[in-house]
A and B are shown apart, each in its own frame.
Chain A
Amino acid sequence: MREMHNQPTPPPKPRGWLAAFTQYVKRRYEEEKVKSSGRVEEAADKLIAALGKDLHCLVYYPHLIPSKKFPHPFTVGGLVVVFNDDVQSTVELILKAHAAAPPDMSLHCLRRSELPELSLPAFTWLDMVNKHVRLPYLLRHKGVVLYGEDVRRLISLPAPDVLLNLHVEACRHFVRNHMILGWLATGNYAALVNKLDWQIRCLMATALLSHGLLDERADSIPESFARCFPESRASQVWEEFRALDAGAAGSAGPASRRTALEAAWLFENFLRCLEGQPK
């Protein structure tokens, strides 16, 4: 019989006993929902069978990318596969784990002693940064232990402002060239506006970590952001972005290009506002 741990870790920054209790109930509800999801159960069974005695524990976490397509939970989620420390070669185990897990789930394989690596900052490609930046928080506060030791308490949490600055840096580096210049040059205006909208929501989600907010739907993130940062000009910039005629970007003619150029301008403004974000 598989061992499961259901004890919730304390929710981030509870305000008062009522808020704490509400968080606790929500969390239990989410954990039960995950365990009752056949897909995660099936993946867990396959991983446990494939890895046998070399598996130390298995933790599920809800996905980290706010997506319009999968508003909540964000997508199908990810799994952290922890091997025993005395495993000599991880190569065979990694190959087995990837063969057993669904391809659309993020998979992180490492030894128990390597768990701190999950919390290290990283500058890789933007899609990876988008996924990685909130990983420690999701594991610690939203993770569900499916097998073995409850290692959630071992996950350290990087400072939210450091994560936000890294996220902004990655956007400056990768959004400007590949998305903005690349899609303007190829006339992909509607895609550019939609992608910038999505990327702004990703950045907002990272900014909300400083307010202990994790469980945000993609469509409610801007509202939470405006509530948490009432003095920030970033919220005003978002309102301007939202007022852009997204339909025009998808039409033919100069209006569509102008809309995409305006979207790029507002995105730049948003980045600059975040860098000076009041804490």
Chain B
Amino acid sequence: MSIELSDYGRALEVFEADMGRAGEDVVSILLYGSVARGDISPGRSDLLDAYVFLDERVFDDRERFIAALEVMAGACERLALSGIPFHPFHYFGMDEIGRTPALYLPSWSSDSFSRALAGEDVRAQIGSSAASREAAAASFFEARRSMGHGLARYYNKEELTELDRERVMHGLVSLKKHITIMACLALGRWVEATRAVGELEEALPGLDTGVLKVVAARREVPPAHLDEGELRTLIREMLTFVEDLHDRLVARLRATPAGA
């Protein structure tokens, strides 16, 4: 099945209509990611990067909550049938709007990165706790070990199965997207994900980001067609990038007094 750009628009219309069944219990539906930015790659961009905010009273009443959940799960079922790559959206109570994860705050700062699909545009109210901001700014260090070093286990494996290749590629793409934004947050630069690489190149002169471009170019190759030797080289180069980024980051943080 060939996915066209127009299919995304139609899927969103159906989603909006489905969510309308919850009436005023849905206060706001916000989009972020490629659909909100308007840079959809048909067939590759997935649905649905969205935050749905529910009336906080939904969480006080068992039947009201279950009714809202049925509407949201039903909307997910329909989206999954569209043929477009799909993952479920996030939902929050309006009383949680000031306590969303800080890692994603930059997405809500501009119309270039997010937009309201339905209901009130509540982006200006979205916030995070101080602890969440602190965690977002420190997440790079855990991600370095779990996401970055985690790929090393495949490097010396005698044979990479198709599933292994898929996991390696997924890990590389995930690192490209997330480790860069986490590094920016560690530097106190709260930028949206698409701006992260440029921001790092500016903040840490000499950082070689070449492997990120290679990963971006190879992500559309089916796992079965990925050469084992090339994947091992990519793992080593990504690990080199992550470790270099870590060392430069630590050097910068040590040289910059806290709060400066």
Contacts and interface: CB of A to CB of B under 8 A. Distances in A.
Contacts of B129: 165, 169
A182 interface: yes
B236 interface: yes
Contacts, number: 128
Contact of A122 (B92, B141, B236): B141
Contacts of A177: 87-91
Given A109-B149, A169-B99, A177-B89, A89 B76 contact: no
A184 interface: yes
A20 interface: no
Given A91-B239, A94-B239, A169-B101, A181 B88 contact: yes
A199 B161 CA distance: 31
B146 interface: yes
Contact of B80 (A120, A122, A185, A268): A185
B102 A95 contact: no
A44 B91 CA distance: 45
A132 B131 contact: no
Given A95-B156, A98-B153, A124-B146, A178 B135 contact: no
B141 to A, nearest CB: 4
Nearest to B48: A177
Interface residues of B, number: 49
A264 B70 CA distance: 11
A82 B76 CA distance: 45
A95 B236 contact: yes
Q: Pick the most buried of A94, A99, A122, A182: most chain B CB atoms within 10 A of its CB.
A: A122
B31 to A, nearest CB: 14
B99 A107 contact: no
B59 A124 contact: no
A98 B155 contact: yes
State which size class the interface on A falls in.
35 or more
Given A91-B240, A99-B156, A121 B145 contact: no
B131 A121 contact: yes
A40 to B, nearest CB: 18
A114 interface: yes
Given A98-B153, A181-B88, A122 B143 contact: yes
Given A120-B141, A166-B132, A268 B59 contact: yes
B147 A107 contact: no
Given A166-B132, A169-B101, A172-B96, A124 B143 contact: yes
Dominant secondary structure of chain A at its interface with chain B: helix
A173 interface: yes
A173 B90 contact: yes
Interface string B206-247: 000000000000000000000000000000100110010000
Contacts of A166: 131-132, 135
B88 A265 contact: no
B27 interface: no
Interface in B65-79: 65-66, 69-70, 72-74, 76-77
A243 interface: no
A5 interface: no
A55 B73 CA distance: 51
Contacts of A68: none
Interface string A243-267: 0000000000000000001101100
The 8 lowest CB-CB distance pairs between A and B, nearest first, are A122-B142, A181-B88, A98-B152, A185-B76, A184-B73, A121-B135, A99-B156, A120-B138
8 contacts: A95-B156, A98-B152, A107-B149, A123-B136, A123-B139, A162-B131, A177-B90, A178-B88
Interface of B: 59, 62, 65-66, 69-70, 72-74, 76-77, 80, 87-92, 96, 99-103, 129, 131-132, 134-136, 138-139, 141-143, 145-147, 149, 152-153, 155-156, 178, 236, 239-240, 243, 250
